[in-house]
Structure 1
Amino acid sequence: MKNLLLQYKPFLLFLGKFLLSYLILTILYQSYLNKFDASKSEVDTFTQSVAQQTVTVLSWFDSQSYTMPNLKEPSIKIFYHSKYVSRIIEGCNALSVIILFIAFVVAFTGKFKQTVLFILLGSVFIHVLNIGRIALLSIALYHFPQYEHLLHGVIFPLIIYGIVFLLWVVWVNKYSLYATASITK
């Protein structure tokens, strides 16, 4: 049994760091969300900010873009060309994707400064990418509402998760301690 633990030590360390950091960040995020009453259709401030930033991007293409609180559910309605095209819910703010990104980077440890910098820059990049994703999705839904499932359920998640995956590949191959260990061999 001891030999098995020694043999799989790197994997077990990775798994432990990933699960621990993911659990801690998820608990922190959930405690933040618990401050808002979904039964009263309250939307957390970060999701509200994402909706406002999305409308700012949409206003570059149409000055009649705006948001409106949804009184029936905890979401923000997005209007493009004065037409209701989409809604922003808590799951649209990409914080759960950022938590997953951070947990993976922490699990594949690197030098402290590089790790913190990569997490900060990567998180900002994912956030900006998400704003662009929602804006493009809103424009696409305005023009092609019949493709909502394909656009929202397949294409746009594939883009954001694909880019997060590429960030992980860059992290593991260039900055993690694993990358330095394989370079010195």
Structure 2
Amino acid sequence: MLKDFKPVLGILLRFIIIYLVLLFAYQFYLNSFKDSGLDPYSRMIADHVRIVQETLGFKTLLYDDVPKQQIWFYIRTTAVSRMVEGCNAISVLILFLAFIFAFYKGTKTFVFAGISLLLLYVMNVLRIVGLNIINSDYSSYGKMAHDYFFPAVIYGSVVVLWLVWIKFYALKNENS
């Protein structure tokens, strides 16, 4: 009977191992920047958000609050939101990668993962831009956008990419 579950258990074990390795590596990364404020990856996202917002006509200033490990977004001299480590979507990307690599299919796994990470990065930057614009111009919708709409955008994007991976790559018959 255990033979019947061997493929599923293999996928589950790969998922858990990959997830834990990536999670511990990320925690090590965060710990190395503990005293210098927000980590460089999160800072890069904040800067890309600023660039997109300014391209859209929203003059944006960033205020680096090192002791609290956050960056404030100011639009038109008003603080509209703050970027903290959790806004960088790394925890979501770790979960995404663990799932994709649990269903490993050779080189195409790396290609799909790379393209997907790029798409998710863009989605996350646009998510933060959208949230900042809502907080700036439609502040009464800010909490709903932050708590419901924009998490649905990023998690929905991950689920769609998972479904694409499973349907078109992971479960595709290699002989056909």
- 3-state SS in 1 of match to 2:57: coil
Question: 1:158 and 1:63, CA in 2 relative to 1: closer, same or farther beyond 3 A?
Answer: closer
Counterpart amino acid of residue 19 in structure 2? Y
Query: Contact 1:41/1:73 (CA < 8 Å) preserved in 2?
Result: no
Q: Distance in 1 between matches of 2:70 and 2:169?
A: 38
- 3-state SS in 2 of match to 1:26: helix
Q: Distance in 2 between matches of 1:63 and 1:142?
A: 9
Residue equivalent to 2:160: 166
* Cα RMSD, aligned residues only: 1.6
1:101 to 2:82 alignment: no
Counterpart amino acid of residue 66 in structure 1? L
Give unmatched runs, 5+ long, in structure 2.
none
Counterpart amino acid of residue 137 in structure 1? L
CA shift at 1:57, angstroms?
A: 0.4
Residue equivalent to 1:180: 173
Query: Contact 1:62/1:80 (CA < 8 Å) preserved in 2?
Result: no
Query: Contact 1:78/1:87 (CA < 8 Å) preserved in 2?
Result: yes
Residue equivalent to 2:131: 137
TM-score if structure 1 supplies the norm length? 0.89
Candidates 68, 71, 76, aligned match of 2:71: 76
Counterpart amino acid of residue 75 in structure 1? Q
Query: Contact 1:44/1:90 (CA < 8 Å) preserved in 2?
Result: yes
1:44 to 2:32 alignment: no
Residue equivalent to 1:123: 117
Residue equivalent to 2:24: 27
CA shift at 1:179, angstroms?
A: 2.2
- 3-state SS in 2 of match to 1:179: coil
Deviations 1:118-143 (A, max 9, x none): 11110111011100110011001112
CA shift at 1:8, angstroms?
A: 1.4
Count matched residues. 176
CA shift at 1:81, angstroms?
A: 2.1
Residue equivalent to 1:57: 52
Counterpart amino acid of residue 94 in structure 2? I
1:66 to 2:50 alignment: no
Q: Distance in 2 between matches of 1:126 and 1:43?
A: 20
Counterpart amino acid of residue 4 in structure 2? Q
TM-score if structure 2 supplies the norm length? 0.94
1:13 to 2:7 alignment: no
Query: Contact 2:63/2:71 (CA < 8 Å) preserved in 1?
Result: yes
Counterpart amino acid of residue 65 in structure 1? T
Query: Contact 1:137/1:151 (CA < 8 Å) preserved in 2?
Result: yes
Q: Distance in 2 between matches of 1:73 and 1:147?
A: 26
Q: Distance in 2 between matches of 1:137 and 1:131?
A: 10
Counterpart amino acid of residue 131 in structure 1? V
